[in-house]
């Protein structure tokens, strides 16, 4: 099963390698990983998506906690939470299809970030399945290139996820 | 006052109470070596290979109950140290290793003797650091010792670029070390302790199974012995846990696992409750997982949460320091004021006695035949009264030492359990000997293992460590040969050495004393002679039966109850 895990780490060099190294050394997969500093610049927050049965996920969480620079680990999967990813997609836009591509962008509430004679570049934020659906709709028009982040996530409600 | 990085290094080590550093100098650590020369705060033991520095630090740490310290240079110095770090990591031995690094401005330029030491050692250490500013050095050293010695102990490496040793800054020694991301739990959860005691009292076929955690938690062996006595439960130990209770206590069933005793493996297989104390359910202990203690409720005490339910599901986990948790259990037992099920225990002990009557470690020494390796180990026990500090290399001799030596006390058995590093025993013996100069320290060795770090005889000579080396010489890589005999149609592919040296002469060439023993009647008297020599090392080369096998044996992939007895 797919799990989304939030990790708070010390913002120091090498910490990303420690996390990645742990996954490769123990044979776990990283489906996606996002890292950025938090409001407190001494700490970074990661959102990591991985797959495994309950036993594997339990071991992943324990092994993450065992790394010295890891401050907190939280598995979002079984809690009420939100996840959002961001995508940039460059799609062909001919005279015939320009309007349709724009209409699709409007439906998905994507924004146009770049225009050329033959293309639009669109930016879309949302859940994984929304991004997937958008790609499916653009596919017939000819996708030139696409890049996307893995999801970032947090728990719903007033409770935060910080150092203390 | 401003100090250089090298000065800060020696000041910090002094404040950490470091008495011995095992090391080998080289280009980028010269500023540090110069300061060691000037200050003379601690003893420096010059090894002959950096791997040995780490093994010696490991042996010292385990005997003395302190943090082992090693110092190596950059590049090959650091890469040579990797095996020693990995060994300490697998066996959770507190060590701090300092490595030199090329100057910060040259990092990444493929400079002379440059290696990505932090990258290479990341997965062989509990944690590692690259110090980029001299201002960070003191705090990093403080944190390294803290991390190495607390929680589940392990090796920590600090990589120090040359310019960091020579740069200066104001020296502040951080008295307290507080890390928000590292706070190991030592006290067991009270409710879990209560549940555990209830389970212990209700057990009908209980077994205590203890491991290396008992060694790492100093003072816990006494509590373990007390608990075993109060409950009258049988106890078995892992390779790493030997000495946790006295070997001659009738409740001690011997080691369990691949080369464990019949009674220990049968008791575990038929138990209804297993109390695991500082042990990690290693594959050499469990055999086939599905067949391991299938009917047992498992209580698992361990300081490392990731050890719990990693291989075998623990029904009742207690995360905490073994000594603290055993103390909590003893207290709770007393508060409850109840006794375990005496009637059930009587039946259980009756069954265990029956298993024990197989006498699975029985062997006969024909005084007119070749020397049996088991006989040598038994004689070593007899002549030392079971009080020596024993180190080993890895292989058959290691298992015979574990099976036949018999340890009265904890911290007297120093072996490479997890990584299984041939070449470990001699440097580890030197480390242990330096911790206890007046004790008898014996490296029970195989001839193949010993050759892997035999250059350390030179170290033993220089630092006047009167270690004893007992080679059980069968001319084979014994354990490899045993597996080839049993599982590869006796095709002894590259498991023997044709041109072994005359070890007695090798010993003499290094300045020590060497004996070659070929007759059973000479075994005891030679050991006596060796034990009397205190001013230099002694090597005893015992010529033993060539194709002796270690039994009992649980074949790889089989269940513990499927062991082969002969």
Does residue B497 register a pLDDT over 90?
A: no
Distance of CA A45 to the CA centre of its chain: 12
How far, in Å, CA of B12 to CA of B234, rounded?
46
Does residue B216 register a pLDDT over 80?
A: yes
Does residue B73 register a pLDDT over 90?
A: yes
- Mean pLDDT (whole number) for B389-412: 97
pLDDT at position A98? 94
* Residues A51, A8 share a domain: yes
* Preferred mutation among A14, A68, A162 to probe B, highest tally of B CBs within 10 A: A68
Inside any domain, residue A164: no
pLDDT at position B127? 98
* Residues A68, A8 share a domain: yes
pLDDT per position as a tens digit, A57-78? 999 999 999 999 999 999 999 9
* Residues A70, A11 share a domain: yes
pLDDT per position as a tens digit, B463-474? 999 999 999 999
Inside any domain, residue A39: yes
pLDDT per position as a tens digit, B153-187? 999 999 999 999 999 999 999 999 999 999 999 99
The answer to whether A37 faces chain B, any CB pair under 8 Å, is no
Inside any domain, residue A87: yes
Does residue B378 register a pLDDT over 90?
A: yes
Inside any domain, residue A163: no
Domain count, chain A: 2
What are the distances in angstroms from CA B224 to CA A110, B254, B303?
66, 15, 16
pLDDT at position B421? 98
Helical spans, DSSP H, in B99-185? 117-121, 137-149, 162-166
CA angle B99, B104, B105 (to 5 degrees): 145
* Residues A69, A105 share a domain: no
8 Å CB contact of B181 and A14: no
- Specify the CATH number for the domain of residue A114: 3.30.70.1150
* Residues A71, A6 share a domain: yes
pLDDT at position B142? 98
pLDDT confidence bin for A84, thresholds 50/70/90: very high
Please report where in the chains the tokens 């998506």 appear, as a residue: A49
8 Å CB contact of A21 and B122: yes
Inside any domain, residue A162: no
Does residue A30 register a pLDDT over 90?
A: yes
**Domain ends where: A47, A75, A103?**
A75
pLDDT confidence bin for B119, thresholds 50/70/90: very high
* Residues A41, A22 share a domain: yes
- Residue of chain A nearest B122, judged by CA positions: A18
pLDDT confidence bin for B118, thresholds 50/70/90: very high
Cβ partners under 8 Å of residue B113, min gap 6: B26, B27, B28, B73, B74, B75, B76, B77, B102
How far, in Å, CA of B520 to CA of B198, rounded?
52
pLDDT at position B232? 97
Residue B482 is encoded by which pair of tokens? 């045993």
**Which among B122, B179, B305 is the nearest to A62, CB-wise?**
B305
Inside any domain, residue A105: yes
How far, in Å, CA of B106 to CA of B102, rounded?
6
Inside any domain, residue A119: yes
* Residues A141, A126 share a domain: yes
Look over chain B and give the mean of its residue pLDDT values, rounded to a whole number: 97
Contact call for residues B81 and B72 (beta carbons, < 8 A): yes
Chain B neighbors of A25, CB-CB under 8 A: 123
Inside any domain, residue A14: yes
Rounded to a whole number, what is the distance in Å from the CA of A21 to chain B's nearest CA?
Answer: 8
- Mean pLDDT (whole number) for B7-15: 98
pLDDT at position A95? 92
Phi/psi for B413 (5° steps) reads -130, 110
Q: What is the DSSP letter of B391?
A: E
8 Å CB contact of A59 and B306: yes
* Residues A59, A113 share a domain: no
8 Å CB contact of B126 and A21: no
- Mean pLDDT (whole number) for A86-113: 96
Q: Which domains does chain B have, with CATH numbers?
A: 2-170 (3.40.50.970), 190-356 (3.40.50.1220), 373-543 (3.40.50.970)
Task: Using a cut of 0.90, tell me whether the model's pTM lies above it.
Answer: yes
Percent with pLDDT over 90 in chain B: 99
* Residues A59, A22 share a domain: yes
* Residues A103, A39 share a domain: no
* Residues A110, A58 share a domain: no
8 Å CB contact of A63 and B306: yes
Rounded to a whole number, what is the distance in Å from the CA of B123 to chain A's nearest CA?
Answer: 8
- Specify the CATH number for the domain of residue A48: 3.30.70.260
Does residue B285 register a pLDDT over 90?
A: yes
- Residue A90's domain spans which residues? 82-152
**Domain ends where: A58, A75, A92?**
A75
Strand partners, B470: B444, B540
pLDDT per position as a tens digit, B259-268? 999 999 999 9
First CA to last CA distance, chain A = 30
The answer to whether B178 faces chain A, any CB pair under 8 Å, is no
B113 is catalytic: yes
- Mean pLDDT (whole number) for B520-538: 98
Contact call for residues B35 and B10 (beta carbons, < 8 A): yes
- Mean pLDDT (whole number) for B354-377: 97
**Domain ends where: A14, A48, A75?**
A75
Does residue A164 register a pLDDT over 80?
A: no
3-class SS at A113?
strand
* Residues A53, A19 share a domain: yes
Does residue B458 register a pLDDT over 90?
A: yes
pLDDT at position A163? 81
């Amino acid at each position: 099963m797919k799990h989304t895990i939030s990790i708070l780490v010390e913002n120091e060099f090498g910490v990303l390698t420690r996390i990645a190294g742990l996954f490769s050394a123990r044979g776990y997969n990283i489906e996606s990983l996002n890292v950025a500093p938090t409001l407190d610049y001494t700490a970074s927050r990661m959102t990591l998506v991985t797959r495994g049965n309950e036993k594997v996920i339990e071991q992943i969480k324990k092994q993450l906690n065992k790394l010295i620079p890891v401050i907190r680990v939280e598995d979002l999967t079984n809690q009420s939470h939100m996840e959002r990813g961001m995508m940039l997609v460059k799609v062909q836009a001919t005279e015939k299809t320009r309007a349709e591509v724009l209409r699709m962008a409007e439906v998905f509430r994507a924004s146009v970030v770049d225009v050329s004679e033959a293309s639009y570049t669109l930016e879309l934020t949302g859940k994984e399945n929304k991004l997937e659906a958008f790609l499916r709709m653009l596919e017939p028009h000819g996708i030139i290139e696409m890049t996307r982040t893995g999801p970032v996530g947090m728990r719903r409600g007033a409770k935060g996820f910080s150092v203390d | 006052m401003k100090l250089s990085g090298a000065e800060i290094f020696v000041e910090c080590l002094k404040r950490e109470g470091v008495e011995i550093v095992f090391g080998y100098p080289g280009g980028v650590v010269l500023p540090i070596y110069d300061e060691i020369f000037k200050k003379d705060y601690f003893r420096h033991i010059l090894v002959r290979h950096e791997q040995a520095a780490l093994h010696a630090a490991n042996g010292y740490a385990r005997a003395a109950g302190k943090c082992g310290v090693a110092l190596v240079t950059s590049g090959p110095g650091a890469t040579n140290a990797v095996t020693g770090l990995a060994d300490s990591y697998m066996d959770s031995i507190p060590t701090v290793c300092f490595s030199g690094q090329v100057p910060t401005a040259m990092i990444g330029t493929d400079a002379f003797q440059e290696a990505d030491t932090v990258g290479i050692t990341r997965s062989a250490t509990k944690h590692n650091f690259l110090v980029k500013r001299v201002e960070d050095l003191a705090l990093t050293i403080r944190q390294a010792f803290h991390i190495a010695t607390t929680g589940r102990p392990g090796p920590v490496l600090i990589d120090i670029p040359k310019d960091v040793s020579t740069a200066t800054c104001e020296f502040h020694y951080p008295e307290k070390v507080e890390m928000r991301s590292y706070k190991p739990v030592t006290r067991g959860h009270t409710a879990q302790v209560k549940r555990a005691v209830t389970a212990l009292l209700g057990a009908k076929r209980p077994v205590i199974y203890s491991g290396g955690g008992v060694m790492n938690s100093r003072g816990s062996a006494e509590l373990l012995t007390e608990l075993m006595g109060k409950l009258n439960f049988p106890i078995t130990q892992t390779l790493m846990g030997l000495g946790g209770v006295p070997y001659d206590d009738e409740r001690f069933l011997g080691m369990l696992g691949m080369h464990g005793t019949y009674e220990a493996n049968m008791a575990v297989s038929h138990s209804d409750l297993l109390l695991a104390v500082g042990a990690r359910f290693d594959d050499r202990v469990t055999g086939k997982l599905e067949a391991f203690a299938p009917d047992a409720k498992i209580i698992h005490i361990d300081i490392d949460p990731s050890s719990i339910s990693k291989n075998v599901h623990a029904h009742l986990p207690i995360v905490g320091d073994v000594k603290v948790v055993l103390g909590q259990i003893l207290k709770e037992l007393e508060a409850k004021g109840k006794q375990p099920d005496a009637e059930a225990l009587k039946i259980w002990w009756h069954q265990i006695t029956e298993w024990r009557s197989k006498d699975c470690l029985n062997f006969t020494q024909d005084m007119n035949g070749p020397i049996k390796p088991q006989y040598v180990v038994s004689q070593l026990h007899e002549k030392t009264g079971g009080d020596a500090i024993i180190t080993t290399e890895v292989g058959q001799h290691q298992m015979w030492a574990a099976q036949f030596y018999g340890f009265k006390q904890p911290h007297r058995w120093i072996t490479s359990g997890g990584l299984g590093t041939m070449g470990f025993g001699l440097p580890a013996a030197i480390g242990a000997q330096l911790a206890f100069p007046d004790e008898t320290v014996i490296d029970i060795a195989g001839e193949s293992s010993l050759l892997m770090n035999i250059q350390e005889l030179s170290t033993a000579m220089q630092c006047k460590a009167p270690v004893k080396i007992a080679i059980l010489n069968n001319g084979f890589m014994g354990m490899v040969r045993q597996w080839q005999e049993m599982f590869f149609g006796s095709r002894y592919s590259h498991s023997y050495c044709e041109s072994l040296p005359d070890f007695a002469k090798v010993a003499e060439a290094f300045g020590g004393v060497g004996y070659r023993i070929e007759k059973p009647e000479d075994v005891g008297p030679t050991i006596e002679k060796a034990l009397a020599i205190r001013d230099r090392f002694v090597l005893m080369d015992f010529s033993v039966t060539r194709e002796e096998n270690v039994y009992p044996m649980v074949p790889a992939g089989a269940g513990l109850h499927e062991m082969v007895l002969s």
